[in-house]
Amino acid sequence: MIVSDAHCHFFSAGFFRALGQEAGVPAAAEALPTRLDWEAPGRDDELADRWVAELDRHTVTRAMLIASVPGDELSVAAAVARHPHRVVGAFMLNPAAPDAPVRLERAFREPGLRTVCLFPAMHRVPLGDRSIDAVFAAAERHARAVFVHCGVLSVGVRRKLALPSPFDLRLGDPLGVAAVAVRYPTVPVIIPHFGAGLFREALMAADAAPNIVFDTSSSNSWTKFHHGLTLRDAFGRALDCVGPARILFGTDSSFFPRGWQQRIFEEQRALLDDLHIDGEAQARIFGGNFTRVFGEPPI
């Protein structure tokens, strides 16, 4: 079965430099990975090569790599340019930043940057803000996707570095995503982690807006906020609500040497087998929907 991962983080040198500025750490691209017992990323092309070697090791066909701080979109653009058949690019954007419109247009002109990632709780931008609408309008013009993180938001690397995380979780409501998504029906809208704790609201949002898809990434520990709900239950209810054509497999893989999280794939595959989801539907979830949302690799 073809496997493509719709949610991996590209922890570039630029990512660590941005964290280093917050933490007051010089030479952060080397110092912070050392502090975390991670491997330093090296140049963007070197990190791209490392990712593709990791995908090869696990027989993963393609992956979406996310530039995980605002302003780092060129790191992923470099990875896509180096491996256009294997990598799809995504980038985090603070839509309220003064340079956001310019950055967004420039990024969307890059052929391999397919997705803009919004974190309303992190950047404290309400989903009804005009800047959010401008992002969706740009995605519509350029035939790109929009990823919106909802629900619980905990950034592990920030926690490990004791950096403050003044997130406003009230702003990450899937119902707010639906209110925007219905105005842009041709834009694929990705809600990761099944809504990350706002599961009922995510299902309601997807029911209201047919262009919303879920990604299955991470350990999905948010289920602890729903009494009696298991990840198996979440998969079953999501499949009942939106069907297999609107679910994207993802792992939330990020740093090395851990690399690609095979365990998450195995767990989710076992859950779908246990739910008696047939091979055709699983092929959509694990690979086919990736191609439909992000397009075929370049010829």
Per-residue pLDDT of the chain (299 residues; tens, 9 = 90+): 999 999 999 999 999 999 999 999 999 999 999 999 999 999 999 999 999 999 999 999 999 999 999 999 999 999 999 999 999 999 999 999 999 999 999 999 988 999 999 999 999 999 999 999 999 999 999 999 999 999 999 999 999 999 999 999 999 999 999 999 999 999 999 999 999 999 999 999 999 999 999 999 999 999 999 999 999 999 999 999 999 999 999 999 999 999 999 999 999 999 999 999 999 999 999 999 999 999 999 97
Contacts of 249 (CB under 8 A, 6+ apart): 3, 4, 5, 6, 215, 216, 217, 265, 268, 285, 286, 287, 289, 290
d(CA 299, CA 40): 33
d(CA 2, CA 39): 29
Tell me what pLDDT residue 118 has: 98
Point out which residues pair with 113 in neighbouring strands. 89
Tell me what pLDDT residue 237 has: 98
For 127-143, the pLDDT digits (tens) are 999 999 999 999 999 99
d(CA 205, CA 191): 10
Tell me what pLDDT residue 172 has: 98
d(CA 215, CA 147): 10
Give just the sign of the alpha carbon dihedral 234, 203, 292, 55: negative
Q: Using an 8 Å Cβ cutoff, are 162 and 209 in contact?
A: no
Tell me what pLDDT residue 169 has: 97
Tell me what pLDDT residue 299 has: 79
Point out which residues pair with 91 in neighbouring strands. 67, 116
Tell me what pLDDT residue 126 has: 98
Q: What is the CATH number of domain 4-294?
A: 3.20.20.140
Where helices occur in the chain by DSSP H, the ranges are 13-23, 28-36, 44-57, 73-82, 100-109, 120-123, 130-142, 156-160, 174-181, 199-208, 231-242, 262-274, 279-283, 289-294
All structural domains of the chain with their residue ranges:
4-294
Tell me what pLDDT residue 155 has: 93
Give the containing element (helix H, strand E) for 243. none
> Is the model's pTM score more than 0.85?
yes
